[in-house]
């Protein structure tokens, strides 16, 4: 069940930059309350998009704060409760986007989890949980957003994969790689099947991104050495690196890019 934060809907959606690469576009971003999702939402709003931040009920405070921060900067944003594993929740999210933003032009399937257990010890229940969020979520998002994009005459879908969706990764567990590999091929299938409707679908493949969680992991110097050592540019991806790549793929500048698996990895998958 979605729950739009619309205590002042006119104020929430009234202001926007006069110019921008996403002007007059409406974008739904899953997992948008914090981290990469929030960074993408902020960047899209800076370029004129109406941003619908979708996240779980337990992230509502953070999601509303992210939307308010965008509005305070002159952008247009609202928060809705969205459980990506729930078909009912997706139906409500699309309805809210069409009601409050007038339609939907961009879907960013960003929500994802990683239960860091190797294949020999991971329980089937944890594997099912990862499949539900990382694969079923984007699948349902595409299912329910494609008709909305078609009603707008086309649009763009961005699926957040990973370098683990392109290559085997020695430092990442098998279950995560399975889910991100599935997203890579889901993207390509959507791209070729719905191009006739002027709907483009591309995937983003970041290497390790410099987030608070990663900084916590890097208290272990060996882990830090491992991850930095695999990137030819010698640094982690920043949230802005990924948000800017997402902006490019969502914008008209990438109008002829469809079915692309774009690494944002400092050359990690080229080595």
Start-end of H helices in 120-173: 124-131, 137-151
What angle separates helix 137-151 from helix 174-194, to the nearest 10 degrees? 20
pTM for the full predicted model = 0.92
- Reading the chain (271 residues) residue by residue, the pLDDT tens digits are 444 443 333 444 544 445 799 999 999 999 999 999 999 999 999 999 999 999 999 999 999 999 999 999 999 999 999 999 999 999 999 999 999 999 999 999 999 999 999 999 999 999 999 999 999 999 999 999 999 999 999 999 999 999 999 999 888 999 999 999 999 999 999 999 999 999 999 999 999 999 877 888 888 888 888 889 999 999 999 999 999 999 999 999 999 999 999 999 999 999 8
Tokens 């990438």, located at residue: 254
Q: 264 Cβ partners below 8 Å, 6+ apart?
A: 204, 205, 206, 207, 237, 241, 242, 245
Token couple for 31: 């997992």
* Max Cα–Cα distance, the chain, nearest Å: 55
Backbone torsion region of residue 155, taken as left when φ is above 0, otherwise alpha when ψ lies between -120 and 50, otherwise beta: left
Q: Which residues, listed in sequence order, are joined to residue 194 by a DSSP beta bridge?
A: none
Level-2 CATH architecture, domain 9-270:
3-Layer(aba) Sandwich (3.40)
Q: What is the 3-state secondary structure (H, E, C) of 33-64?
A: CCHHHHHHHHHHHHCCCEEEEEECHHHHHHHH
Eight-state DSSP code of residue 264: E
Q: Which residues are catalytic?
A: 176
Residue 111 · residue 97 · CB < 8 Å: no
Tokens 């139906």, located at residue: 91
Q: What is the 3-state secondary structure (H, E, C) of 132-146?
A: HHHHHHHHHHHHHHH
**So where are the chain's domains?**
9-270
């Amino acid at each position: 069940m979605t729950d739009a934060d619309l205590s002042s809907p006119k104020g929430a959606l009234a202001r926007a930059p006069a110019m921008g690469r996403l002007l007059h576009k409406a974008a739904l971003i899953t997992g948008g309350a914090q981290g990469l999702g929030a960074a993408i939402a902020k960047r899209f709003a800076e370029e004129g998009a109406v941003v619908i931040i979708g996240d779980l009920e337990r992230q509502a405070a953070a999601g509303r704060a992210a939307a308010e921060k965008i509005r305070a900067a002159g952008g247009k944003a609202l928060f809705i409760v969205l459980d990506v594993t729930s078909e009912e929740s997706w139906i409500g999210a699309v309805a809210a986007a069409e009601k409050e933003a007038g339609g939907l032009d961009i879907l960013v399937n960003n929500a994802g989890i990683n239960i860091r257990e190797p294949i020999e010890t991971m329980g089937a229940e944890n594997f099912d949980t990862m499949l539900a969020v990382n694969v079923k979520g984007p699948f349902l998002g595409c299912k329910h957003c494609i008709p909305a994009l078609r009603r707008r005459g086309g649009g763009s879908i961005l699926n957040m994969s990973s370098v683990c969706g392109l290559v085997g990764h020695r430092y990442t567990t098998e279950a995560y790689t399975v889910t991100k590999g599935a997203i890579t091929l889901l993207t390509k299938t959507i791209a070729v099947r719905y191009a006739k409707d002027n709907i483009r679908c591309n995937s983003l493949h970041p290497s390790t991104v410099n987030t608070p969680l990663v900084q916590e992991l890097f208290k272990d110097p060996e882990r830090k050495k491992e991850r930095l050592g695999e990137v030819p540019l010698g640094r982690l991806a920043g949230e802005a690196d990924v948000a800017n790549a997402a902006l490019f793929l969502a914008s008209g500048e990438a109008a002829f890019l469809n079915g692309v698996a774009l690494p944002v990895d400092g050359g990690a998958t080229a080595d």
